[in-house]
């Protein structure tokens, strides 16, 4: 009897599911896009029901397209954008819209933590700093601003936990997502720090129980089976964070393995087993061997910038796409490829929704610098790509200088990495070679592998190594690297010289002055 596995990834811009066989072949997959809810106060939200509907619908379509008998699907796993803060009541119904990773509203809660708990204590416990990014700060905001809703809360759930809960009826989380709920998660012991939670004023009972990523946490219910096309009783693994699942798909599972995910968020990840962590970066528990492995990551906006331009300004490109049958993104790439490196002095600061590593500034916003009548749409598009590249360089320099082992080449994956031009820009910026894999479906594929390990279909994660097919290697171009170094100095100074103005701007926007 053949064995199959299914994985889903809940992304910031949409959800994809994939069915694979035990030889790593993708037999069926489907993607559904959804919007992002934002406002001028730094809110960034999704409706949690979008997650469940998208997971259920993409699973059903992927299973249908695969032509496999659902009875032969041995396990399922879900990853997602992280962190997120979804509060559910005792009936497991959501009480509010999900605060996602780019939501920046919990600034006062972070200031309280800095003054009353301290950065060092949090870092020593979690491997992370204090920032509105982490889900505990988002939960504190709910407690302080919607106390009645907080009192009704049964459990906090992440964007991966919520659809897994709908599959199984279990409101739990995994080590990887718990490390981004953070603030009170002991990343070495893999437990909540009850003493610290009492000091913060958060009820430990409102936090989910935590399980290794590769452990079975429940089974598909009858109701969920009808909704997804899975069979009742199908095992469901605890799951993981989206970037971790993508790195599993590219074979980044061993100490020193390095990978770049270029989805809505751009993330550099380095796998390590030593429990020492880098300031100003993010520490998460790695999916592969989650009881003992970590990933040090940087996190920034990347593909989300490209989508913003497409949805807001790319009318001509969308019209051309309809006329030619090409994808809008492909046309945008063609326009950008006509522009020489450096964009004739046009620089974009890619901080459109505040930023995480390494600046950790909830008030910063985007900037277009050096604009002239000489600049075209192609300049804008390439400047967005280069802006993300400069941010990658900023992060990569800090990781490299921390002394962490980095095994080259960098494995590049997800949406933005499909662009040969963007891969070249990033490799030129980092002065490092990169490789692109063609046969990986990213995080959904990684989740399917995780489900296979959890159910015993695969002995361990090393099975993916033989499936990874490198189709393109990108070497940095020395003259481009030298040019980008000059522009990078301006890029970093633009932020340093204007960060106080960003704070003043936020105060005016929020009617604080």
CA angle 228, 438, 14 (to 5 degrees): 40
The residues that bridge with 381 in the sheet, in sequence order, are none
Per-residue pLDDT tens digits for 261-303: 898 889 999 999 999 899 999 999 999 999 999 999 999 999 9
Superfamily covering domain 301-436+472-509: ATPase, nucleotide binding domain (3.30.420.40)
Per-residue pLDDT tens digits for 76-91: 999 999 999 999 999 9
How is residue 97 annotated by DSSP? P
The residues that bridge with 470 in the sheet, in sequence order, are 437
- Where are the strands (E) in 414-508, listed by range? 434-437, 470-474
**Residue range 327-340: mean pLDDT, rounded:** 97
Backbone angles phi, psi at 218, to 5 degrees: 175, -175
Nearest to 51 by CA among 70, 36, 69: 36
Nearest to 485 by CA among 388, 422, 399, 393: 393
Q: Are 16 and 8 in contact (CB under 8 A)?
A: yes
Q: Which pair of tokens denotes residue 99?
A: 């605060």
Neighbours of 471 (CB within 10 A): 9
Per-residue pLDDT tens digits for 236-269: 999 999 999 998 998 999 999 999 989 888 999 9
How is residue 205 annotated by DSSP? G
Per-residue pLDDT tens digits for 3-23: 999 999 999 999 999 999 999
Q: Which pair of tokens denotes residue 325?
A: 């049958």
Q: Which pair of tokens denotes residue 375?
A: 């600049």
For residues 305 and 510, the model is more confident at 305
List the chain domain ranges: 301-436+472-509
What's the count of helices (H) and strands (E) in the chain, helices before strands? Answer: 17, 25
Per-residue pLDDT tens digits for 398-442: 999 988 999 999 999 888 999 999 999 999 999 999 999 865 578
Q: Say whether pLDDT at 513 is over 60.
A: no
Q: Say whether pLDDT at 56 is over 70.
A: yes
d(CA 444, CA 249): 8
| pTM to 2 decimal places | 0.90
Q: Give the chain's mean pLDDT.
A: 95
Q: Which pair of tokens denotes residue 185?
A: 């998660």
Q: Are 10 and 159 in contact (CB under 8 A)?
A: yes
Question: What is the predicted pLDDT for the residue at 440?
Answer: 59
| Buried b / exposed e along 478-500 (16+ C-beta atoms within 10 A) | eebbeebeebbeebeebbeebee
Per-residue pLDDT tens digits for 445-494: 999 999 999 999 999 999 999 998 888 999 999 999 999 999 999 999 99
The residues that bridge with 296 in the sheet, in sequence order, are 270, 283
Per-residue pLDDT tens digits for 89-139: 999 999 999 999 989 899 999 999 999 999 999 999 999 999 999 999 999
Q: Are 445 and 26 in contact (CB under 8 A)?
A: yes
Question: What is the predicted pLDDT for the residue at 362?
Answer: 87
Which sign, positive or negative, has the C-alpha torsion 269, 218, 75, 444?
negative
Question: What is the predicted pLDDT for the residue at 438?
Answer: 67
Question: What is the predicted pLDDT for the residue at 261?
Answer: 86
Q: Are 97 and 46 in contact (CB under 8 A)?
A: yes
Q: Say whether pLDDT at 48 is over 60.
A: yes
How is residue 208 annotated by DSSP? P
pLDDT band at 512 (very low <50, low <70, confident <90, very high): low
CA angle 153, 157, 159 (to 5 degrees): 140
Question: What is the predicted pLDDT for the residue at 41?
Answer: 82
**Residue range 137-166: mean pLDDT, rounded:** 98
Helices 107-116, 135-145: inter-axial angle, 10-degree rounding? 110
Question: What is the predicted pLDDT for the residue at 264?
Answer: 87
pLDDT band at 510 (very low <50, low <70, confident <90, very high): confident
Neighbours of 92 (CB within 10 A): 15
């Amino acid at each position: 009897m053949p064995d199959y596995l299914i994985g889903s990834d809940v992304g910031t811009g949409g959800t994809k599911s994939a069915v694979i066989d035990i030889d790593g072949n993708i037999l069926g997959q489907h993607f559904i896009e959804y919007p992002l809810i934002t406002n001028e106060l730094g809110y960034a939200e999704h409706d949690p029901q979008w997650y469940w509907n998208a997971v259920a619908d993409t699973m059903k379509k992927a299973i249908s397209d695969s032509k496999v008998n659902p009875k032969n699907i041995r396990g399922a796993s879900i990853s997602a954008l992280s962190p997120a803060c979804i509060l559910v009541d005792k009936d497991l119904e959501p009480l509010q819209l999900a605060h996602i990773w780019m939501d920046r509203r919990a600034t006062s809660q972070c200031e309280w933590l800095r003054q009353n708990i301290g950065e060092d204590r949090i870092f020593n416990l979690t491997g992370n700093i204090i920032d509105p990014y982490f889900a505990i700060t988002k939960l504190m905001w709910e407690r302080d601003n919607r106390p009645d809703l907080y009192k009704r809360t049964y459990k906090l759930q992440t964007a991966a936990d919520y659809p897994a809960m709908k599959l199984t009826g279990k409101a739990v989380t995994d080590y990887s997502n718990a490390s981004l709920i953070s603030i009170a998660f002991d990343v070495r012991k893999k437990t909540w720090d009850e003493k610290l939670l009492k000091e913060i004023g958060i009820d430990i009972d409102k936090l989910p129980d935590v399980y290794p990523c590769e452990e079975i946490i429940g089974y598909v219910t009858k109701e969920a089976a009808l909704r997804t096309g899975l069979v009742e009783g199908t095992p469901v693994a605890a799951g993981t964070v989206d970037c971790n699942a993508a790195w599993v798909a590219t074979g980044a599972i061993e100490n020193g393995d390095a990978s770049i995910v270029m989805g809505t968020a751009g993330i550099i990840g380095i796998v390590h087993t030593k429990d020492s962590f880098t300031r100003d970066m993010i520490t998460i528990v790695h999916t592969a061997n989650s009881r003992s492995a970590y990933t040090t990551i940087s996190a920034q906006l990347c593909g989300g910038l490209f989508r913003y331009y497409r949805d807001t300004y790319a009318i001509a490109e969308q019209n051309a796409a309809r006329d030619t049958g090409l994808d809008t993104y492909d046309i945008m790439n063609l326009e950008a490829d006509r522009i020489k490196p450096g964009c004739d002095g046009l620089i974009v600061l890619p901080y459109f929704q505040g930023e995480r590593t390494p600046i950790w500034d909830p008030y910063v916003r985007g900037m277009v610098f050096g604009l002239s009548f000489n600049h075209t749409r192609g300049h804008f598009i390439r400047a967005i790509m280069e802006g993300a590249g400069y941010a990658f360089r900023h992060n990569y320099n800090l990781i490299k200088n921390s002394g962490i082992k980095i095994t080259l080449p960098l494995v590049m994956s997800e949406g933005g990495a499909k662009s040969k031009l963007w891969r070249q820009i990033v490799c030129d910026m980092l002065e490092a070679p990169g490789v692109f894999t063609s046969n990986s479906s990213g995080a959904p594929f990684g989740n399917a592998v995780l489900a296979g390990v959890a159910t015993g279909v695969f002995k361990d994660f090393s099975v993916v190594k033989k499936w990874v097919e490198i189709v393109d290697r990108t070497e940095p171009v020395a003259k481009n690297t030298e040019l980008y170094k000059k522009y990078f100095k301006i890029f970093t100074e633009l932020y340093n010289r204007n960060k106080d103005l960003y704070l003043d701007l936020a105060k005016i926007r929020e009617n604080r002055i």
